[in-house]
């Protein structure tokens, strides 16, 4: 990451995401932040690998918001699942969610989250990718159908939420848990130190 000038006053932090999971992670760190929705097409491009896609999408989200919030530090993020090089985003419907879960059953897959920081008035741009591995238990069609019926898989990369009922499908994982949820804490904490992001009293 390139050097950043020391901040004289706390910099406003903006999360370029409407994801409740990412909001919860930032809130748990005691950070003061605002939320802005980034209107970006999250569809991976043809031939684009998972790492390339999440980095690009995280940057696009951060830049869209930073255009109108130039003095703030804007963080964008995007998460995808990859199994044997095949990229899995959010399922389009319950049927696709069930197919994803059955494909992941008994296998180890990667969860990749791209995180981008943009501070337009300082022309600061940084983006990286955090990787974790998740191993699923073997999953029957009945189990997949029951889980899909909860509604939780919809809107989740790979059709599961490890922090929710989807955690019951997981045999093991390696790497950052919050990365699997959607926002790697280590990357965020580095920005707190570099830019002097204001924290709530209890978190200081």
Decide if pLDDT at 117 tops 50. Answer: yes
Q: Which tokens hold the place of 162?
A: 């490890």
The pLDDT, as a whole number, for residue 139 is: 97
The pLDDT, as a whole number, for residue 1 is: 57
Residue with tokens 């029951």: 146
Q: How many CB atoms lie within 10 A of CB 148?
A: 23
The mean-pLDDT minimum among 135-139, 158-162, 182-186 falls in 182-186
Looking at the annotation, which residues are catalytic?
Answer: 78
CB 90 within 8 A of CB 142: no
* From the candidate CATH numbers 3.50.30.50, 2.70.70.10, 3.90.950.10, 3.40.50.880, the one assigned to the domain spanning 13-203: 3.90.950.10
The pLDDT, as a whole number, for residue 42 is: 87
Any idea where the domains of the chain sit in the sequence? 13-203
Q: Which tokens hold the place of 199?
A: 């924290």
Decide if pLDDT at 198 tops 70. Answer: no
Model pLDDT for residues 17-71, shown as the tens digit of each residue: 989 999 999 999 888 899 999 999 988 888 899 999 999 999 999 999 999 999 9
Closest residue by Cα to residue 118 from 43, 56, 66, 49: 66
């Amino acid at each position: 990451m390139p050097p950043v000038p020391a901040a004289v006053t706390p910099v406003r932090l903006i999360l370029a995401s409407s994801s409740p999971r990412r909001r919860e992670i930032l809130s748990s760190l005691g950070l003061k932040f605002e939320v802005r929705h980034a209107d970006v097409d999250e569809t991976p491009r043809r031939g684009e690998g998972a790492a390339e896609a999440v980095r690009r999408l995280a940057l696009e989200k951060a830049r869209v918001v930073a255009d109108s919030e130039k003095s703030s530090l804007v963080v964008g993020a995007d998460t995808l699942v990859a199994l044997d090089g095949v990229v899995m985003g959010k399922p389009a419907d319950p049927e696709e969610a069930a197919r994803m879960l059955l494909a992941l059953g008994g296998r180890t897959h990667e969860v990749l989250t791209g995180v981008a920081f943009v501070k337009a008035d300082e022309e600061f741009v940084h983006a990286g990718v955090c990787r974790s591995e998740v191993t699923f238990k073997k999953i029957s069609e009945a189990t997949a159908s029951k889980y899909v019926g909860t509604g939780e898989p919809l809107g989740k990369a790979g059709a599961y939420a490890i922090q929710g009922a989807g955690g019951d499908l997981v045999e093991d994982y390696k790497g950052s848990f919050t990365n699997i949820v959607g926002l790697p804490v280590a990357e965020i904490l580095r920005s707190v130190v570099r830019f002097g992001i204001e924290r709530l009293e209890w978190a200081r």
